[in-house]
Structure 1
Amino acid sequence: MKRCATAILLALVFAGCGSSATESAERPALARAAAPPVPILLYHHIADPPPGERNASLWTTRARFSQQLTALQRAGFHAVTLDRVWRAWHGGPKLPSKPVVISFDDGFAEQDAIARPALARRGWRGVLNLQLNHLNIPGGLSRAAIGRFVDAGWEVDDHSATHPDLTKISGAQLRAEITGSRATFRAQLGIDPKYFCYPYGKVNARVRAAVRAAGFKAATTILPGRATVADDPMMLPRIIVRRSTTPAGLVRLASRG
């Protein structure tokens, strides 16, 4: 009788463990299935374009930028980093109801002087996609500025060493721009970037494979749309914010893709 009771008790214990293990395995999958699409905004310059600037559409004025942030905030958006999105997609803490990633490419001085304080006033963090050869040059960012981003809780990601079209360079150059730049981030800045941003958004199968081989978790493109957990992590879309993008227009893009 005692042996029978013991067997029943053990069966119940193991059944409970099996149920718990199943629930634990299902929980991340359920979290990913419920994850909302996330708009990843792409900014470049936060300033007035100089006369004759060929890429003036990529310059957002300081006033317009502030209006856009206010519009996003009033619409209920909350800025998060790409790493927070990735962790939520893989069983980590849930995202806020209307997450948005606000990313800045290349590494321009006004991203430190204007964008970082503007997000800080709202309690928000951004993502800096740093092009290494923009360090310590006129109009670029200093190492001290990178420290200010890190101290403010920003994510600093890898945007290559010299910003070439990665689809048109040799294998050795490709490794230098991806694996080599990640090593330089670690050695010179004390940052280990987990995400990559393709220069000009140019990418093909060879480039994707090189980024994956370098150990990056995901990479961002300039393909339009909102990012979802179902996307190829090496091909996450972004929404380019242009000079003509109104605050209301940006809210619509962030809401609908």
Structure 2
Amino acid sequence: MLNYHSVDYDPGNIVVITPEKLDEQMAFLSENGYNPLTLDDFFLILEGGLEPPEKPVLLTFDDGYADNYKYAMPIMTKYGFHATMFMSPGTIGQDWYVNWEQAKEMKEAGWDIQPHGMTHPHLPKLSAEEQANEIIEARKQIEEHLGGTADVFCYPYGEYNGDTLRILEENDFRFAFTIQQGRTDSSQHKFQLKRIYVNGEESFKTWKQRLTGK
């Protein structure tokens, strides 16, 4: 599972990957038989309900940046790839983030859109009630504006505590993603799934090694 953030031009910022680098990476996946998955297929595979295709991979983009719409979506469309974006509805209306119209267009293009908290807070610093509002309201707004079910969570800053896990369980979330490094497998807790972070400053060779393990 690959973890991206911003797709733009900001030299020295490791959370930003240029469109050219992203395209190079997606071209490699396409040319080498990788199969980017929808969330539904990913979870069916993880739960043993679906036979995985050759070289399955889940492409995730955190934070809901507008550059995901501007740059990442055309690249995914170019290769016929699925991707997932975790967004915070509280950022709607801010220049750097997608609006509802853009998020809807991304969903229509095959993206899964899921919650990342209402305001991208440090969840462990909040009371249980405040955490519940951040998590449940984000899900509610995404479902109301985009349709479908938004029951997969991604922790802002990768942070969570016992209250967070309890809230997710009580509200029937299917899975949740961390920023813990590593490959995802069925032995991991459903609310503590690992991902491979993509550093926008790393070389293609390094990215390839971390992807393939070679």
By the TM > 0.5 criterion, same fold?
A: yes
Q: Is the 8 A contact 1:46 1:61 kept in 2?
A: yes
Amino acid across the alignment from 1:189? L
Distance 1:108-1:41 versus aligned 2 partners, 3 A rule: same
Distance 1:73-1:252 versus aligned 2 partners, 3 A rule: farther
**3-state DSSP of counterpart to 1:254:** helix
Equivalent residue, structure 1, for 2:71? 114
Counterparts of 1:1-257 in structure 2 under 5 Å?
Answer: 40-49=1-10, 56-256=13-213
* % identical aligned pairs: 27
Relative to the length of structure 1, the TM-score reads 0.78
Instruction: Quote how far apart the aligned CAs of 1:219 are.
Output: 0.3
Aligned length: 214
Poorly superposed stretches of 4+, deviation over 6 Å: none
Of the two, which has the highest radius of gyration? 1
Distance 1:72-1:197 versus aligned 2 partners, 3 A rule: same
Amino acid across the alignment from 1:112? Y
Distance 1:162-1:234 versus aligned 2 partners, 3 A rule: same
CA distance, structure 1, for counterparts of residue 52 and residue 111 of structure 2: 17
**3-state DSSP of counterpart to 2:2:** strand
Equivalent residue, structure 2, for 1:31? none
Instruction: Quote how far apart the aligned CAs of 1:224 are.
Output: 0.2
Instruction: Quote how far apart the aligned CAs of 1:109 are.
Output: 1.1
**3-state DSSP of counterpart to 2:85:** strand
Relative to the length of structure 2, the TM-score reads 0.93
Amino acid across the alignment from 1:164? P
Equivalent residue, structure 2, for 1:10? none
Q: Is the 8 A contact 1:136 1:143 kept in 2?
A: no
Distance 1:71-1:245 versus aligned 2 partners, 3 A rule: farther
Structure 2 residue runs of 5 or longer lacking an equivalent are none
Greater percentage in strand: 2
CA distance, structure 1, for counterparts of residue 190 and residue 180 of structure 2: 13
Instruction: Quote how far apart the aligned CAs of 1:75 are.
Output: 3.0
Q: Is the 8 A contact 1:106 1:134 kept in 2?
A: no
Greater percentage in helix: 1
Instruction: Quote how far apart the aligned CAs of 1:233 are.
Output: 0.8
Structure 1 residue runs of 5 or longer lacking an equivalent are 1-39
Q: Is the 8 A contact 2:114 2:139 kept in 1?
A: no
Q: Is the 8 A contact 1:68 1:246 kept in 2?
A: no
